[in-house]
Amino acid sequence: MVALLAMECNVVAKDAATTVIFDTDMGNDIDDALALDLLYKYQDMGRIKLLGIMSSKKERESAQYIDVMSTWYGYRKTPIGIARDGVKGELATNYATKVVGMKVAGKPMLKRSVKDVGKLPDAHKLYRKLLASQPDNSVVIICTGFATNLGNLLSTAGDSYSPLNGRDLISRKVKQIVLMAGRFDNTGEAEYNVVNDIASCAKLFAESPVPVVTSPFELGLRVLFPGECIEKDFGWTALHPLVLGYKAFLKMPYDRPTWDLTAVLHVLEPGRFMSCTKPGRIDVDEKGRTRYTPARDGKHSYLTATDEQRREMAEFFVEIISKKPKKFRIKD
């Protein structure tokens, strides 16, 4: 079992595209947008297939910004699911709200494909639809936001998409779940994604039938994306939703931790920049604090990196994100 789970940490085959569902709290921190850029770039390369994107945020601007990004990158048909019971974000720093509100001559500055995000499907229902259509043991779920949608999915009953309940559907179709969540640096502090929906995160760790790998707070905290890149490396376009979002999030110039990018990178480049702990069990207490306990039959692990690996990750993020997307078709 130990050897099996160690192998499961490296889930992406180099010679085949991995099917991914991305679950995000887009708008809370700019690292979600940076992480989505990585996914689009790897889809350009044929390394992944982005099956769908879920928002765990309550405000509609989160889904609108996701739609703006998908449209701009040339993937306007990527399905989007929303959490009507999602967490409400902080409007003061919500770059998604700011960017989708930008207008020129009274019209949205950036093109969109979804006319009314309020009519988008509930994320847990879209999860069921997408998963039911995929081969067994083929999908990797990356969740860089709150576990709300996954908690809801685990609680679903059989429906027109599949007779399986949520847990069994995950067991049948999902290969692995990769999170940005928790912290294991012995500070006794709870991490943001966990503490904002403790019940769903605890449910996910307790009930997931497939391996769960998490990238903890302390890992991404020490890998900074440089604001200098945003200011100097995007001269090839004037209206980039990622650049506009980065500039709207905090006062420039600033460097930002790459929490969500590390979770995505583990799927895109398994074993290249990070290592997994041995199999164990991760528990979430009533205050949202996470605890890892080694266990031979455990299905949980978390990511670690050396100082040299962190330096290499930071350089890699700049290299990939600053490149013009291959499917870029939206003219300024």
For the segment 214-245, what is each residue's pLDDT rounded down to a tens digit?
A: 999 999 999 999 999 999 999 998 899 999 99
Q: What is the pLDDT of residue 88?
A: 74
Flag whether pLDDT at 316 surpasses 70: yes
Q: What is the pLDDT of residue 273?
A: 97
pLDDT bin (cut points 50, 70, 90) of residue 11 is low
Measured CA to CA, the distance from residue 98 to residue 102 in angstroms comes to 7
Kindly give the pairing relationship between strand 103-104 and strand 107-108. antiparallel
Among candidate residues 34, 102, 37, 35, the one with its CA nearest the CA of residue 64: 102
Helix runs in the chain, H state only: 2-8, 31-44, 60-73, 95-100, 123-132, 148-154, 166-173, 192-195, 198-207, 217-221, 227-232, 241-249, 259-268, 307-321
Measured CA to CA, the distance from residue 23 to residue 109 in angstroms comes to 26
Q: What is the pLDDT of residue 143?
A: 98
Q: Average pLDDT of 197-226? A: 98
pLDDT bin (cut points 50, 70, 90) of residue 45 is very high
Per the model's pLDDT, the better-predicted residue between 3 and 90 turns out to be 90
Among candidate residues 7, 295, 12, the one with its CA nearest the CA of residue 142: 12
Flag whether pLDDT at 194 surpasses 60: yes
Measured CA to CA, the distance from residue 86 to residue 143 in angstroms comes to 14
For the segment 144-179, what is each residue's pLDDT rounded down to a tens digit?
A: 999 999 999 999 999 999 999 999 999 999 999 999
Q: Which of 5-14, 69-78, 190-199 has the lowest mean pLDDT?
A: 5-14
DSSP structure class, residue 118:
G
Flag whether pLDDT at 10 surpasses 80: no
Kindly give the pairing relationship between strand 280-284 and strand 290-294. antiparallel
Percentage with pLDDT > 90 across the chain: 88
Domains and CATH numbers, the chain: 2-321 (3.90.245.10)
Its pTM stands at: 0.94
pLDDT bin (cut points 50, 70, 90) of residue 90 is low
pLDDT bin (cut points 50, 70, 90) of residue 14 is low
